[in-house]
Structure 1
């Protein structure tokens, strides 16, 4: 995107620049005959920018009226005023009277408005710019306005932009703009000069390092719309340099600019254009794109107005909401002239409860379809000469319009447009609000349809969008209601499908068939809330307002559903994924297989495949073996990348452990399972450094394996000891340290005290290493009698080993114990014994 420049101002006295450009003598007569406080007001001409060769830059702006000057008249005026230019430049000298300097700067500014030839005449005198910059310190608003205006004219020429920047103009203008009582005209000229200077990428760096950014953000709230336009233009140019993005976002530029695009009443077209240009540069960064979407704006691809010609609106279907929810007809016979069909809204039941999301979907769909029908779509957002290719151009729309347009694009015939729309939907689904908005707009049915497309790019984009949408439980129901399970299962069963499509499809299935969601178990038992009515009936009819897709999901035929997921080819494919090296895929495959086990208690589909080797592959994470040999390399052990890899491995192992625990209920599985191998593997995993929350199912599976294999079930069983040492105690310690509820902390302390007191395992070392002593000391100061008693007992057991004394003292145990003794609380005797133990 090219940087934008601003228009040059011209005096408002009756001069037509299309027929006459004033010579310096003419300006001199006008200026000298006026007092310093009676200068003519200035008005804006249509904007233009002069390139280095002096011709208007037509790639950015329409032709300027300056281009209509008669060549002979322009030349004669220039020649006639050459000597007088030198005179007025000399009048800018510091040794001149203030009034002479003011009249000279005003005359030169007005002279410069004639175009590049006149500016060239002024720039023949090298010291002129420095004298002009010096006048920015004048106490006269007229002098400051004229000085800033002349700098604005000079900076509109590529050749002189560096000279203006090197003269100290940026610093002086910034100083000027910080003044609280500054005339609107001065603000406009000063900010416009910065707008021109920021066009150059090298000068832009200098501008960004100054206070210009904060000043531009400040003047976005100015009362003068022209000043706001200039401020937005400066920010749009600064955004062209990616190095400025961090500081711009930290300064709060996103919400400031977003407000101009969220409402038509905010600002002029120029402000909206510049604000959009700035935000479009920021949305290239993934994180900043999220911040822009949070402000209510969605990046939408520009695909060209001609592409929309393939859109065929469904005019003769039954009235329905965008998501397919049917609207009940309340009239009994058709109108003679079809008015009942046209004015269907007048027949809608007033008792129906239409939520805000459905209303917004209707508004967005209606607006976008109207723009398509009249051929005005993309008219405002499209830049006629953009540097971006057609495949990269995007715009920003209010989320209501953006959601509707993206869904509309999914119905077109252009494949590249469909791919871009699906990818945009995926990136826009940052929260539940946006996911529900796309659901209500009817995006799900189109994305499910696109899963069956023979184009891999379209299938990948659709699967990616569904993956992001399926983070919502409500959307998961709609995907199922639209028949999405069939295409997803077909993709996984096909070995020729690209790996990325398989990964996205499996993630969607994992979200829909997640066994941990209680909703799923209730969902497949039958209809939800017993409602099978269409939308639009009165509330007292028992209608719940479910959409047709949600109703279809609630009435899904269980046998048809089982035919999809209980297919032996499908389960075999899932086992193959369990053997893959990707922990994230292993996690989803194990989760779906667990759902298969819940759906078919006979486990026929799972028994027919090599599930044991699949589980072994998941448990044998290569990362855990590498971590065991990396103990000396502490830097790698605690790196962010390593932590993320451990997290993914832990989730995969947890899902596989949950699946194995479920399979152990089958006698046929138990009869063919190698118990000793799994027990040894899970014991090693329990001792590993995977996240603690991933060890709960590992511990549960290990206990069940040991029980079924005939191990001693007493507390001295080595497996029970390891579960206590590596899962139970660390979990209780974490609960003590991190829980905000005092009751929860005390419950964990009481349970930990029971384990320590029974002496099942020497766990004092774990308590010390996990840093729980500080929390225990805090509890004996602030806890209830129950918590204080348990904490004192644990601390006393810790003190039995003299090596722990330093840790207890460092945690502040001594003053806390003295306080209990001196206050003679019920536990003062135990506190005194512990205090004596520490002092010895």
Structure 2
């Protein structure tokens, strides 16, 4: 490097008119040091002002903070951020001080005194703050960056701060960013930040250098794959705001690369960043903005979005302050909670000065009202958001920069749960179609757990969503239905949705010829949860309140007390309160058409809804009239049910090899659920004589026998077997074991079910009952039954029973194994299962079953 610097210098110091400037602590130390004797020749002594202020202060034109518009370095792309306090100057004419750059670069050499090197790096750092032209003057010397990076190893805090500061200013220029990275700056900063004790200034300058470097896509990946990531996350808790801001800025830039998301999430960045957005956490606007930007990038992934919401923040669409102008606050003649719950007037007449309204709810039953947390959050959140909407302050700060319409439609922000839920509900009441649709989608995304679903219910979202089902815009209807689908996962919220009258709008939506497949699926999901046959069955046997709840707060002790009425937390499910929905023929026809043409998932839901409706006797005639048999035929004749074995017979061997087995397992599960639901529906319809007269039992028996032999999951065959038995009884066939129907039910449903129960049951009583029932089947001497037990892998669990089971279970298991031992092909499996040692222990113990064990032991080749 020395060869690049001229060896002859002629210094003629100009008469400089320098403005006095306040020196930092570091600068003051350098001045003190500068008074000492150094190795710098006397002729090279330079005014200290020249080192730190090469231009008159009056000529310095400072640009605005680059983070205010989300920009990067001087010529960085607009969407990338850089340190907010890295102020740079506009280009201007060279100063006479530029000629001394070579001297200070030479003083950085490794052979110089550490004190001289410290003075030189500080001088270059302050000189570089003069703007891009000053940085260009420094970068003329190719070895400058390497020498600066080497100074990061220094034990002096002042030297490390100045070196990192110079790298920070150089890396703020796009064309020099790669040079800084290639010099090993990232690795040296990694080592520097790993030190146990560092000043805040050193940390700030070092991390801000990384902030500039992370603007580059390739450098982001390099930074994320080093030990820097845990250190940056740790610095989010630093006491100095500047350090926290810089760390947040780096993480926000790293999140711009999707490949970094998994590394960042695994490092635990989401809880740290979400904490900075909580209302009860203090922090600067800069760190909040950077934390929000980072989390918004991570939230673009559906799974990571769930992790973000679990930390207490909700993603809310930015719709523009103009959209809130249509907000019209409701003037309450008598206050109510956001979910519509009203306060009951117990006083004989209104107060003269409105004291009842003013002190509403402060005293109930002579005690302070104890509202649930979700209700209190709903009240506070509604108050906050409506106040901001009334004064026009919503999103004002975010709209200082002009945004195009397409950009606005993609923008989101993050708010704490309380404010985020209230904001989304407020948007549902606006007139902007796009805003409503985006808010409904955000509600669906945020409904990840019971707490969030209850929060939206308490905030009054249900009324708005049900009302918007009749909107004339298809995108709104789809988004609203999606939100209701996610909310209806909660049983409590599902009852509220039903109470708001959602069933008939959803049924009417099915009749629309232009309904999309996505909208149909979500509509069917909601209807299947509301019109659940199991819920109707429960209502016939249960007549008490759910969880001991009551519809209203009893305020009869004191008629002057103000109480809550119309609460919707828990609705008692009683026989008298069970909802009865009569479906017209058009809706039933739509459901039958779904049975014929849709996927197994929709077929299952359609069959479940029709079963619920079949409970209402007036609707049975309508179901029979629309040719329900054709719909059931379609379910029982699915492609997957063509044969038995590992794969359906319709699949060629080469097709099987090219497909994943998991795909067929999923198909089997979906087909099994659809078949089970259709079998339940058919079983229910067989209770009605008019339906019995219209069907051909033999036809359905043939289809169900084929289904029973297929490889759908075992638990889905229960209703198939029950329906077959019922069809056989209606046809007048014999019901002994020799009957073909009973034999097939035994082989393909009963025996596999019992063996599975023996294998997996944790209850000794359940296991004992299964073994005894299996022995009763085998004792009838049917050869096929014995072979079925061996084919289903029943030998090993039966041997385990004789080792660990109860007395009756051991006796029944020995009897079954004895019958199996009558066939020599089972001997090897019985011995391999460890039966011989277990049998010998039973014989030697002279227990109650020792004779059975001896007989079985004699049939086995024990040599």
Instruction: Normalising by structure 2, report the TM-score.
Output: 0.85
Q: Any conservation in 1 of the 2:65–2:87 contact (CA below 8 Å)?
A: no
Within 5 Å, which residues of 2 pair with 1:762-781? Answer: 762-781=784-803
Alpha-carbon displacement from aligned partner over 1:386-422 (angstroms, at most 9, x marks no partner): 7971111111111222111111111101111111111
String of CA shifts for 1:403-456, please: whole Å, max 9, x gaps.
111111111011111111111111222222222211111111111111112222
- Consecutive unaligned residues of structure 2, counting only runs of 5 or more, are 1-17, 38-50, 53-61
Corresponding position of 1:168:
184
Per the alignment, residue 407 of structure 2 pairs with 389
- Give distance in 1, aligned partners of 2:77 and 2:133: 13
**Can you list the C-alpha shifts for 1:683-726, whole angstroms capped at 9, x where unaligned?**
11111111222111111111111111122200222212221222
Deviation at 1:316, TM superposition (A): 2.8
The answer to whether the 8 Å contact 1:195/1:230 transfers is: yes
Compared with structure 1, are the counterparts of its residues 816 and 280 closer, same or farther at alpha carbon in structure 2 (3 Å cutoff)? farther
Q: Please point out which of 450, 461, 473 is paired with 2:491.
A: 473
The answer to whether the 8 Å contact 1:735/1:748 transfers is: yes
* Contact 2:278 2:416 survives alignment (8 Å): yes
Moved more, 657-666 or 197-206: 197-206
Q: CA deviation at 1:346?
A: 4.0
SS of 1:839's equivalent?
A: coil
1:621 lines up with 2:642 in the alignment: no
Deviations 1:200-229 (A, max 9, x none): 112112222222223222333334333222
Counterparts of residues 119-138 of structure 1 (less than 5 Å): 119-138=135-154
Q: Identify the residue that residue 111 of structure 2 maps to in structure 1.
A: 95
* Corresponding residue for residue 219 of structure 1: 235
Structure 1 match to 2:509? 491
Q: Which residue of 1 aligns with 2:297?
A: 281
Equivalent in the alignment of 2:532 = 514
1:543: how far off? 13
With over 3 angstroms needed to count, the CA separation of the structure-2 counterparts of 1:503 and 1:317, relative to structure 1, is: farther
Q: Distance in 1 between matches of 2:682 and 2:703?
A: 13
Instruction: Verify the 8 A CA contact 1:439 1:475 in the aligned structure 2.
Output: yes
Q: CA deviation at 1:351?
A: 5.8
Q: Is the 2:345–2:563 contact (alpha carbons within 8 Å) kept by the matching residues of 1?
A: no
Structure 1 stretch 414-423 or stretch 229-238: which is displaced more? 229-238
Matching of residue 315 in structure 1 with residue 331 in structure 2: yes
Indicate whether 1:604 and 2:621 are aligned: yes
Question: How is 1:419-818 mapped onto 2 (pairs within 5 angstroms)?
Answer: 419-518=437-536, 521=539, 534=552, 537=555, 547=566, 562=580, 565-600=582-617, 603-625=620-642, 627-630=648-651, 632=653, 634-635=656-657, 639-760=661-782, 762-814=784-836, 816-817=838-839
C-alpha distance 58-449 of structure 1, shift in aligned 2 (>3 A): closer
Q: Name the CA distance, whole Å, in 2 between partners of 1:322 and 1:394.
A: 24
Q: Say whether the 8 Å CA contact 2:89–2:130 is kept in structure 1.
A: no
Whole-Å separation in 1 of the counterparts to 2:19 and 2:414: 37
Aligned to 1:8: none
SS in structure 1 opposite 2:115?
helix
**Counterpart residue number, 1:6:** none
Paired residue for 1:238, among 251, 254, 259? 254
Paired residues for 1:319-398 under 5 Å: 319-346=335-362, 350=367, 352-379=369-396, 384=401, 389-398=407-416
CA distance in 1 between counterparts of 2:518 and 2:491 reads 23
Q: Partner of 2:95: helix, strand, or coil?
A: helix
Q: Using the alignment, how far apart are the partners of 1:693 and 1:515 within structure 2?
A: 18
Structure 1 residue 245 displacement after superposition: 1.3
Tell me by how many angstroms 1:641 deviates.
Answer: 3.0
Partner of 1:33: 34
Does the 8 A contact of 1:654 with 1:694 survive in 2?
yes
Q: What's the secondary structure of 1:93's corresponding residue?
A: coil
Structure-1 separation of matches of 2:725 and 2:574: 40
Instruction: Give the match's secondary structure for 1:215.
Output: helix
Q: 1:519 to 1:306 in 2, by over 3 A?
A: farther
Higher deviation after alignment, 247-256 or 399-408: 247-256
Distance 2:828 2:397 in 1: 72
Counterpart pick for 2:267 among 243, 251, 255: 251
Verify the 8 A CA contact 1:31 1:106 in the aligned structure 2: no
User: Relative to 1, partners in 2 of residues 1:229 and 1:761: Cα closer, same or farther, differing over 3 Å?
Assistant: farther
Equivalent pair of 2:551/2:566 in contact (CA under 8 Å) = no
Check the 8 A contact 1:220/1:231 in 2, yes or no. Answer: yes
Pairwise CA distance, 1:769: 4.9
* Range with bigger deviation, 604-613 or 822-831: 822-831
| Distance in 2 (alpha carbons) for counterparts of 1:540 and 1:185 | 67
The answer as to whether partners of 1:737 and 1:775 remain within 8 angstroms in 2 is yes
- String of CA shifts for 1:327-384, please: whole Å, max 9, x gaps: 1124443344445434434466646552222222212211211111122222456683
**Matched position secondary structure for 1:300:** strand
Deviation at 1:105, TM superposition (A): 2.0
Shift of 1:772: 4.7
Larger Rg: 2
Is the 1:482–1:549 contact (alpha carbons within 8 Å) kept by the matching residues of 2?
no
Q: Which residue of 2 aligns with 1:152?
A: 168
Q: CA deviation at 1:760?
A: 4.2
